[in-house]
Amino acid sequence: MTVTAIVGAQWGDEGKGRIVDALAEQMEWVIRFQGGDNAGHTVINDHGEFKLHLIPSGIFHPGVKCLVGTGCVVNPAVLLEELEALEAAGVNTANLFVSERAHMVMPYHRLLDGLQEVASGKSAIGTTKRGIGPAYSDKGARRGLRLGDLLRPDWLEARLDQAIEFANRELVHFQQTPVDPAQLLDQCRTWGEQLAARLVDPLPLIRQAYEQGANILLEGQLAAMRDLDWGTYPYVTSSNPTATFAPVGAGLPPQAVKRVIGVVKAYTTAVGAGPMPTDQGDNQTAKWLREKGQEYGATTGRPRRCGWFDAVALNYVAYLNGFTDLAITKLDVLDGLPELKICTGYRLGDGSIIQHVPDTPVYETVEPVYESWPGWPKNSTAAARTWADLPEAAQNYLNRIEELAGVSIRYISVGPKRDEMFTK
């Protein structure tokens, strides 16, 4: 009986959704603790294939309660669409709750995200254009609208006036049509009616579950290398995907979290701009990983940047998150490669080698230092269901990753489906 956080250990898209789906069965609650519909969490199971943007990946287990937590930012239109799509696929969503304290992503946030990116020209971040940055900015500036506001008409109207005044100043600056407050108020009333039954003050529920010793899973969005404070700023998201934030976003005390599982791909990918030292650009390795791993964004469809495994970044992230276990995904994508590389250090301009992640202006200049490991070109890991089934070269590769990370590997995934995974 414990609280477990599942977080991304690289630059996102590590396979968090599939790990949460596989582990959710033993849980009473699954809680998304930050981020918004910038997430694309793929889950493939008996119900079909889903790319979840807001709804926790535990939704497929009828006995599990799911919460979109207080630390999230929620576009009500996207949430309603996602609910509809799940229901249409025969998934029961009766157990999906949403924190009334979570902030809303409004239509003008999306618009502004896109406009700000275009205006940034060459220094654009490469956001998902889902309005995440503008929504969290409004939250920080204390002019944000929260889902609970939808249920309190007078309060909503006053808060909306204040928020729109600012949004319109921005929109006018970008020569856009200002938001019509009456129209948006109407839209909010409709959302309120559609979501009322799911909006809860989560604290009494979560507190009771925690105090009764329930199993609770905290699902992270994105990953530590895009953390607002410790990622590759400014090429980051506008929330904290690290496990330290998980209890805040979920409504738990810090000591509640007993296990932190870092989800890590057997190689590295990223979408969006900013440093990624092991990026292989468009060379043969990158092409292999992108095609075999189907590395195209689940939310935006953008081709992902691909490269070798970065153990320096993993060690940094393991410390920051306090990983107790690693879940390695997509090992099968490396089947067929004769040689693998692991980045074990970063070379600076003066020739010295460091073993930590420096701040972005320096990080942009580092050269990866690699060690080479033999692949298993004649074997496959895809059918493996135990550690002993893996080719020896794959075991050696994983053992080395474990050693460099300083954290034990507990789960190994060799395919996208629920059962294509085993424990070490």
The contact set with ligand GDP (CB under 6 A) reads 8, 13-18, 40-42, 44, 294, 298, 329-330, 332-333, 413-416
Give the whole-angstrom CA distance, residue 317 versus residue 225.
Answer: 7
Give the whole-angstrom CA distance, residue 107 versus residue 367.
Answer: 41
Give the whole-angstrom CA distance, residue 104 versus residue 166.
Answer: 15
Smallest separation (angstroms) from ligand GDP to the CB of 317: 14
> Between 210 and 411, whose beta carbon lies closer to Mg ion?
411
User: Which run of H or of E encompasses 3?
Assistant: strand 3-8
Strand partners, 259: 4
Using CA of residue 271, residue 78, residue 220, residue 398, what is the dihedral sign?
Answer: negative
> Between 264 and 366, whose beta carbon lies closer to ligand GDP?
264
For residue 232, which of 346, 142, 328, 372 has the smallest C-alpha distance?
346
> Between 38 and 232, whose beta carbon lies closer to Mg ion?
38
Q: Which of 144, 192, 247, 272 binds ligand IMO (CB under 6 A)?
A: 272
Tokens 């003008």, located at residue: 108
Do residues 88 and 129 touch, judged by C-beta distance below 8 A?
no
Q: Which of 15, 56, 76, 133 binds ligand IMO (CB under 6 A)?
A: 133
Give the whole-angstrom CA distance, residue 342 versus residue 404.
Answer: 10
Strand spans (E) along 174-274: 199-200, 216-219, 257-265, 268-270
Q: Per-residue x/- mask for ligand IMO, residues 73 to 112, rule CB under 6 A?
A: ----------------------------------------
Q: Per-residue x/- mask for ligand IMO, residues 214 to 243, rule CB under 6 A?
A: -------xx---x--------x-xx-----
One-letter amino acid at 24 equals A
Exposed, middle or buried, 370 (CB in 10 Å: 0-12/13-18/19+)? middle
- Annotated catalytic residue 389: no
**Strand 268-270 versus strand 305-307 pairing type:** antiparallel
Do residues 32 and 97 touch, judged by C-beta distance below 8 A?
no
**Which entry of ligand GDP, Mg ion, ligand IMO, none binds 18, CB below 5 to 8 A by partner kind?**
ligand GDP
Q: Which of 125, 145, 317, 405 binds ligand IMO (CB under 6 A)?
A: 125
Smallest separation (angstroms) from ligand IMO to the CB of 239: 8
Give the whole-angstrom CA distance, residue 331 versus residue 415.
Answer: 8
Smallest separation (angstroms) from Mg ion to the CB of 185: 34
> Between 1 and 383, whose beta carbon lies closer to ligand GDP?
383
- Annotated catalytic residue 41: yes
Q: Which of 105, 298, 320, 398 binds Mg ion (CB under 5 A)?
A: 298
> Between 290 and 330, whose beta carbon lies closer to ligand GDP?
330
Smallest separation (angstroms) from Mg ion to the CB of 12: 6
Which of the ranges 212-220, 297-305, 360-368, 404-412 carries the binding residues for Mg ion, by CB under 5 A?
297-305
Q: Looking at the annotation, which residues are catalytic?
A: 13, 41
